[in-house]
């Protein structure tokens, strides 16, 4: 098969908020840019964000408070220079989105409305009913489209071209017919989203298989802070589909089987609006101590009935709809069943504030950038605050696009050759032709069950060792797979197999990083090391994978600043 | 109330086709125990994961917000991840036929070529037309009432359910279709948009524009997000008059003639309406009109009885008219 080589100034992988925002900057600066997405841009998971996006612009709020809440929420693992940058640019970013057409909910005097969210000192989450991400994704896609950005939708980015500390393109195939193409470019940006689909109960889209992370890791580049996976307190019982924090922000209350408002025992001041990791562990603890509710006793109640029909229909209509569809319960009339669900990836591809991908603690990769959930700047540290993710994706996506514009002219295009596609072609050929006995469905089920049980919201050395062994075992068994579908048209089984390979690789990073971090910080909670250990672990994990799939760990300094280390109570 | 999970047996007859390998599509049968917690997408997943890995469909978010997984169940367009199996069984019983949104566009199983859908979407200038301040210090002020003018059109997720349920799309390849109209309305209704007339002109054109809608309500019926595209089409009709974009054609004359008839008689003079809209080309309707007349189906213009409450009706028309004809 001959491999066409297309030449671009910039290639962006992923068309959610970060990818579209970067592409628009590049296009408006006159650069030739291609955006590759395995979905249609409007299907990107940014659109699923519900509750809001933070910007400190009300009279009672300040950028400094937003910084403080973010740093405290992060359990002091966030880099404070990055947090300062994000919080100070947040008001402009949100207003910019509004200027482009985002349909925010409004106050009586016509300003963007804001609501309270967990872990925040002031109502700061700007919202569009309970579909904030949807209006933002539509808006940034629409304006990128208006600017003339070329989108390659339903194309699967399979590999990067990385040699001698420099990235010079992407290898991708058309999902429709498996035609493989090299996108040769001066600069490449990854905006490929998060990795919570490694867990059985998760809130993520089917597409969130974290492909971008392991594509990078397979070239020996590091992944940062992978042990930090956020468990959101309110996923629907059974399937983990998200019920936004807006439900608690608007006044929702949590109850166990005894009718106790149990948050009184875990976070007496903030109650239901404590930080996400705190509320999630409280819920899971109630359940494992036998105070769960529902047919499987695997949930607690969230009750918003006291808000009344009008307010629920005005501010939470989508959430009500979800509970009716999946549980048959109407939150206007009755409490609904929720439990913690794997939701967000704090870790990812390490980048500096400008978005350049790190080769190691001291060096950067030339021509390679990342933003959004797949990247680790780090603005979220060990635990992300609600309504900061959409902000990060839009804001850093845009500014990384600007970085690319400013650096592109100083990068020389390294010409690609057809051999650059070989790794990707080998991977596809192996999956198509291997005639083993394992199924992807079976292996994936085992991985997800194991990660939820052993590398979830509660962890110990023992459970993590079980997970490490399981991941290694699955790696071996993956070599013995067989898929049914041998056709070249929309071979979604082949795609699921490639995606599973990625899930396996980055799961190894999650568990190996977690077992070495002998402390509890933010979302990483070790029952055998229950407190935070700043002396030994106030540092970022930098993990590398060698060619045998073995992980080695290094650590990187946290950038501290004016917000001094304190105990974290809510 | 104690929440319980129930199960029932369902037979699925599933459309299968691979454009590269199959000359004709065929249907495969699957019997399954289905729980009350499951949605249609869970069934698609189980077919792929437990029965045949080659079974293909689009899906992503699995909670009704990305719009990827629209298909047809027993001929009715639906979003697979948002349609509970209980509802499906309640509607159609225990025999369910799963098909793509448009069989003639099928590429593989549930996956169709949606090229026409996106082409129409792009044709209505689906973006806010306004000079974007890249570094604003303030947002535009938009009152809650002005924001409500979008009437949930911004909730459209481009799933295509209405587009492929629309009978006009089926027979008229130029027709933009209900989703594109809802999208156009979303910007037309936005006080921040600067390009009203520019966008409306395309919507006024015959064949592609809003006047070719036959008002069958199918789009409103199938929309999984209750966007109600037909109501947006009606609003666009009014906007075309209001903004002075509407020019005289058979459809606009139909609208104008309708109003005139009501103002004049308080009831609809159907013969007069046809004459008004069609003008001289009414001759082509003479054979049908003659038959209808002999069977007593239409009343000649001179035989119309005026409504007893004509005064009141005229007042109502006057007070409710927003557009000048």
Instruction: Read off the pLDDT of residues B109-139 as tens digits, 9 standing for 90 and up.
Output: 999 999 999 999 999 999 999 999 999 999 9
Chain A residues whose beta carbon lies within 8 Å of the beta carbon of residue B130: 99, 101
Please tell me which residue of chain A has the smallest CA distance to B137.
A92
H helix or E strand, kind and range, residue A485: none
Please tell me what DSSP assigns to residue A271.
Answer: G
DSSP string, B138-176: SPPP--HHHHHTTTTGGG-----TTTTT-HHHHH-TT--
Tell me the pTM: 0.95
- Map out the domains of chain A with their CATH numbers: 5-228+346-419 (3.50.50.60), 238-341 (3.90.700.10), 420-531 (1.20.58.100)
| Confidence category of residue A409, pLDDT binned at 50, 70, 90 | very high
Residue ranges in A171-299 assigned as alpha helix (H): 211-217, 246-249, 263-266, 276-286
Across the interface, of A145, A295, A321, the residue whose CB is closest to B3 is A295
CATH T-level fold of B7-112: Ubiquitin-like (UB roll) (3.10.20)
CA–CA gap between residue A460 and residue A515 (Å, rounded) = 8
Asked if B139 lies within 8 A of A206 by C-beta distance, the reply is: no
Chain A residues whose beta carbon lies within 8 Å of the beta carbon of residue B147: 103-106
Rounded to 5 degrees, what angle do the CA atoms A351, A352, A355 make? 70
Chain B residues whose beta carbon lies within 8 Å of the beta carbon of residue A334: 1
For residues A99-107, give the mean pLDDT: 98
Count CB pairs under 8 A between chains A and B: 188
Among A209-213, B217-221, B241-245, B304-308, the least confident range: B304-308
Q: What is the pLDDT of residues A346-358, one digit of tens each?
A: 999 999 999 999 9
| Confidence category of residue B77, pLDDT binned at 50, 70, 90 | very high
Identify the CATH assignment for B115-242 out of 1.10.1060.10, 2.60.120.1440, 3.40.980.10, 3.30.420.40. Answer: 1.10.1060.10
Chain A residues whose beta carbon lies within 8 Å of the beta carbon of residue B192: 99, 101
Cα B290 versus chain centre, distance: 35
Asked if A295 lies within 8 A of B144 by C-beta distance, the reply is: no
Residue B248 has what pLDDT?
Answer: 85
The shortest C-alpha distance from B109 to chain A (Å) reads 10
Residue B325 has what pLDDT?
Answer: 64
CA–CA gap between residue B104 and residue B111 (Å, rounded) = 11
Asked if A205 lies within 8 A of B53 by C-beta distance, the reply is: no
A374: Cα within 13 Å, side-chain hemisphere: 32
Exactly one of A115, A276, A384, A526 is catalytic; name it: A276
Residue B288 has what pLDDT?
Answer: 85
Across the interface, of A99, A105, A327, the residue whose CB is closest to B136 is A99
Q: What is the pLDDT of residues B161-182, one digit of tens each?
A: 999 999 999 999 999 999 999 9
CA–CA gap between residue A531 and residue A515 (Å, rounded) = 15
Q: State how far the alpha carbon of A280 is from the alpha carbons of A68, A533, B70, in Å.
A: 22, 21, 33
For residues A503-529, give the mean pLDDT: 97
For residues A124-139, give the mean pLDDT: 96
Q: What is the pLDDT of residues A61-75, one digit of tens each?
A: 999 999 999 999 999
Please tell me which residue of chain A has the smallest CA distance to B57.
A492
For residues B33-59, give the mean pLDDT: 96
Pick B308 or A107 by higher pLDDT. A107
Chain B residues whose beta carbon lies within 8 Å of the beta carbon of residue A322: 63-64
In this prediction the ipTM stands at 0.95
The shortest C-alpha distance from B47 to chain A (Å) reads 11
Across the interface, of A99, A325, A440, the residue whose CB is closest to B84 is A325
Across the interface, of A42, A99, A488, the residue whose CB is closest to B140 is A99
A532: Cα within 13 Å, side-chain hemisphere: 17
Residue B314 has what pLDDT?
Answer: 87
| Confidence category of residue B195, pLDDT binned at 50, 70, 90 | confident
CA–CA gap between residue A509 and residue B139 (Å, rounded) = 42
Environment class of A544 (CB within 10 Å of its CB; exposed 0-12, middle 13-18, buried 19+): middle
Asked if A489 lies within 8 A of B64 by C-beta distance, the reply is: no
Asked if A135 lies within 8 A of B68 by C-beta distance, the reply is: no
Residue B279 has what pLDDT?
Answer: 82
Chain B residues whose beta carbon lies within 8 Å of the beta carbon of residue A144: none
Is A248 a known active-site residue? no
| Confidence category of residue B324, pLDDT binned at 50, 70, 90 | low
Regarding beta strands A300-303 and A253-255, do their DSSP bridges make them parallel or antiparallel, or are they unpaired?
antiparallel
Asked if A103 lies within 8 A of B150 by C-beta distance, the reply is: yes
Contacts of A410 (CB under 8 A, 6+ apart): none
Asked if A485 lies within 8 A of B53 by C-beta distance, the reply is: yes
Asked if B21 lies within 8 A of A487 by C-beta distance, the reply is: yes
Chain B residues whose beta carbon lies within 8 Å of the beta carbon of residue A327: 3, 37
Listed in order, the ranges of chain B carrying CATH 1.10.1060.10 are: 115-242
Please tell me which residue of chain B has the smallest CA distance to A130.
B155
Q: What is the pLDDT of residues A224-256, one digit of tens each?
A: 999 999 999 999 999 999 999 999 999 999 999
pLDDT > 90? residue B297 = no
pLDDT > 80? residue A369 = yes
Work out the mean pLDDT of chain B and round it to a whole number: 92
Please tell me which residue of chain B has the smallest CA distance to A205.
B61
Please tell me what DSSP assigns to residue A253.
Answer: E
Please tell me which residue of chain A has the smallest CA distance to B111.
A490
Pick B262 or A55 by higher pLDDT. A55
Token pair in block for residue A549: 């799939």
Token pair in block for residue A446: 């085992």
For residues A470-493, give the mean pLDDT: 97
Environment class of B70 (CB within 10 Å of its CB; exposed 0-12, middle 13-18, buried 19+): buried
Q: What is the pLDDT of residues A519-546, one digit of tens each?
A: 999 999 999 999 999 999 999 999 999 9
Regarding beta strands A539-545 and A551-557, do their DSSP bridges make them parallel or antiparallel, or are they unpaired?
antiparallel
Asked if B126 lies within 8 A of A100 by C-beta distance, the reply is: no
Pair A99, A62: CB distance under 8 Å: no
Mutate to test the interface with A, among B66, B146, B183 (most CBs of A within 10 A): B66
| Confidence category of residue A447, pLDDT binned at 50, 70, 90 | very high
Token pair in block for residue B203: 């919507």
Asked if B49 lies within 8 A of A42 by C-beta distance, the reply is: no
Q: What is the pLDDT of residues B208-256, one digit of tens each?
A: 999 999 999 999 999 999 999 999 999 999 999 998 888 888 888 888 8
DSSP string, A385-408: PTTSHHHHHHHHHHHHHHHHHHHH
Listed in order, the ranges of chain B carrying CATH 3.10.20.30 are: 7-112
Work out the mean pLDDT of chain A and round it to a whole number: 96
H helix or E strand, kind and range, residue A82: helix A80-100
Asked if B68 lies within 8 A of A239 by C-beta distance, the reply is: no
Q: What is the pLDDT of residues A305-361, one digit of tens each?
A: 999 999 999 999 989 999 999 999 999 999 999 999 999 999 999 999 999 999 999
> For B180-203, what is the HEC assignment?
HHHHHHHHHCCCCCCCHHHHHHHH
Mutate to test the interface with A, among B18, B41, B45, B62 (most CBs of A within 10 A): B62
Pair A483, A431: CB distance under 8 Å: yes
């Amino acid at each position: 098969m001959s491999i066409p080589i297309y030449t671009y100034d910039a290639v962006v992988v992923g068309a959610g908020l970060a990818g579209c925002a970067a592409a628009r900057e590049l296009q408006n600066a006159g650069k030739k840019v291609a955006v590759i997405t395995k979905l249609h841009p409007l299907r990107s998971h940014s659109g699923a964000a519900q509750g809001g996006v933070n910007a400190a612009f009300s009279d009672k709020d300040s950028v400094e408070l937003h910084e403080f809440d973010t740093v405290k929420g992060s359990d002091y693992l966030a880099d404070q220079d990055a947090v300062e940058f994000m919080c100070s640019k947040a008001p402009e970013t949100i207003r910019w989105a509004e200027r482009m057409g985002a349909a925010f909910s409004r106050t009586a005097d016509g300003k963007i409305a804001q609501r309270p969210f967990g872990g925040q000192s002031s109502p700061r989450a700007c919202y569009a009913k309970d579909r904030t991400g949807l209006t933002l994704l539509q808006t940034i896609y629409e304006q990128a489209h208006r600017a003339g950005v070329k989108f390659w939708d339903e194309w699967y980015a399979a590999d990067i071209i990385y040699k001698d500390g420099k990235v010079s393109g992407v290898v991708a195939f058309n999902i429709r017919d498996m035609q493989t193409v090299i996108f040769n470019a001066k600069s490449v940006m990854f905006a490929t989203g998060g990795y919570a689909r490694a867990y059985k109960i998760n809130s993520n889209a089917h597409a969130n298989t974290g492909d971008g992370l392991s594509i990078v890791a397979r070239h020996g580049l590091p992944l940062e802070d992978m042990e930090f996976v956020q468990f959101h307190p309110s996923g629907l019982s059974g399937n983990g589909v998200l019920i936004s924090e807006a439900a608690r922000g608007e006044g929702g209350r949590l109850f166990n089987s005894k009718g106790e408002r149990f948050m009184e025992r875990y976070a007496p001041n903030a109650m239901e609006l404590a930080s996400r990791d705190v509320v999630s562990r409280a819920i899971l603890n109630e359940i494992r101590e036998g105070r769960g509710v529902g047919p499987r006793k695997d949930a607690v109640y969230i009750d918003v009935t006291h808000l009344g029909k009008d307010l629920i229909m005005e501010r939470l209509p989508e959430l009500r709809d979800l509970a009716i569809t999946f549980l048959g319960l109407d939150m206007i009339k009755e409490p609904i069943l929720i439990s913690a669900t794997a939701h967000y990836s704090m870790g990812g591809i390490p980048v500096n504030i400008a978005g350049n991908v790190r080769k190691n603690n001291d060096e950067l990769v030339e021509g390679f950038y990342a933003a959004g959930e797949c990247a680790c700047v780090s603005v979220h540290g060990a635990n992300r605050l609600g309504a900061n993710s959409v902000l990060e994706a839009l804001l850093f996506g845009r500014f990384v696009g600007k970085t690319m514009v400013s650096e592109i002219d100083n990068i020389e295009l390294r010409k690609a050759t057809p051999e650059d596609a070989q790794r990707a072609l080998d991977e596809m050929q192996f999956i198509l032709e291997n005639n083993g006995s394992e199924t992807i469905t079976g292996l994936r089920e085992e991985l997800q069950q194991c990660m939820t049980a052993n590398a979830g919201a509660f962890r110990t050395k023992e459970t993590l060792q079980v997970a490490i062994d399981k991941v290694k075992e699955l790696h071996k068994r993956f070599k013995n797979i067989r898929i049914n579908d041998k056709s070249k048209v929309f071979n979604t089984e082949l795609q699921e197999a490639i995606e599973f390979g990625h899930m396996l690789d980055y799961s190894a990073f999650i568990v190996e990083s977690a077992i070495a971090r002998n402390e509890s910080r933010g979302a990483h909670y070790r029952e055998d090391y229950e407190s935070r250990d700043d002396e030994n672990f106030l540092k970022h994990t930098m993990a590398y994978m060698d060619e045998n799939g073995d992980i080695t760990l290094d650590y990187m300094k946290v950038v501290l600043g004016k917000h001094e280390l304190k105990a974290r109570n809510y | 109330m104690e929440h319980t999970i129930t199960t029932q047996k369902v037979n699925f007859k599933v459309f299968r086709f691979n454009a590269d390998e199959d000359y004709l599509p065929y249907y495969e049968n699957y019997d399954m125990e289905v729980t009350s917690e499951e949605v249609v997408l869970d069934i698609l997943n189980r077919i792929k994961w437990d029965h045949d890995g080659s079974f293909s469909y689009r899906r992503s978010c699995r909670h009704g917000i990305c719009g990827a997984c629209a298909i047809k169940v027993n001929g009715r367009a639906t979003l697979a991840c948002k349609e509970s199996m209980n509802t499906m069984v309640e509607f159609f019983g225990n025999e369910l036929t799963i098909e793509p949104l448009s069989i003639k566009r099928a590429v593989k199983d549930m996956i169709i070529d949606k090229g026409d859908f996106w082409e129409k979407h792009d044709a209505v200038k689906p973006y806010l037309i306004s000079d974007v301040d890249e570094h604003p210090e303030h947002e535009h002020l938009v009152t809650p009432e002005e924001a409500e003018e979008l009437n949930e059109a911004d909730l459209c997720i481009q799933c295509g359910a209405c587009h492929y349920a629309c009978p006009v799309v089926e027979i008229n390849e130029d027709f933009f279709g209900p989703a594109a109209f809802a999208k156009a309305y979303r910007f037309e209704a936005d006080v921040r948009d600067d390009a009203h007339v520019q966008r409306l002109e395309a919507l006024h054109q015959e064949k592609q524009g809003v006047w070719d809608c036959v008002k069958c309500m199918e789009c409103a019926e199938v929309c999984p997000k209750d966007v109600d595209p037909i109501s947006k089409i009606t609003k666009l009709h009014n906007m075309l008059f209001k903004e002075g974009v509407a020019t005289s054609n058979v459809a606009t004359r139909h609208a104008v003639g309708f109003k005139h008839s009501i103002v004049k008689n308080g009831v609809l003079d159907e013969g007069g309406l046809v004459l008004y809209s069609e003008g001289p080309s009414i001759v082509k309707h003479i054979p049908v009109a003659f038959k209808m007349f002999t069977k007593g189906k239409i009343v000649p213009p001179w035989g119309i009885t005026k409504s007893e409450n004509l005064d009141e009706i005229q007042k109502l028309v006057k007070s409710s008219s927003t557009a000048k004809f």
